[in-house]
A = this chain, B = another copy of it.
């Protein structure tokens, strides 16, 4: 049921999402769905809430491992469905006020995790003071989702197999970036 709801949302977005459509796709009577859910919104939000979410408690004691772990979870989530569910949620959240709250429930834990990862690394002296958690997260989250979204269908399997390599490159780039920027500022 939830699987059918997520698939329909991914394929059609909010405008094409209906309880009847979910019932059809799942091969069940729509009456049973209406019994359980008052609105299509509640059905979708329950389905989204039931998805495996990102484990935000990562704390390996090392900034590179922490970012690899966070990025790996994001990349795995995006490859599972081409990043469609997440992008749909972000775009519907930008358009519809009632979606913004639910989008935040999905995205905020990642934001908080990124903030804690960066703050702990700063406290350990692994990252320069003042490193922006938001910029680090924009870069990891944005790059991984764009990487998945714009990889042509025929190259997906190859790209997916190279996920570890991609993550290494991305995390190295970001870490060298924040350290390099701090060093250049310090040299002035």
Contact = CB atoms under 8 A, between A and B. Distances in A.
Interface residues of A, number: 51
Contacts of A180: 175-177, 179-180
Q: So how many copies of this chain end up in the complex?
A: 2
Interface stretch (A31-39, A44-52, A116-124, A141-149): A141-149
Contacts of A184: 172, 176
A4 interface: no
Contact of A143 (B10, B82, B143, B178): B143
A83 interface: yes
A82 B174 CA distance: 25
Contact of A95 (B11, B138, B178): B11
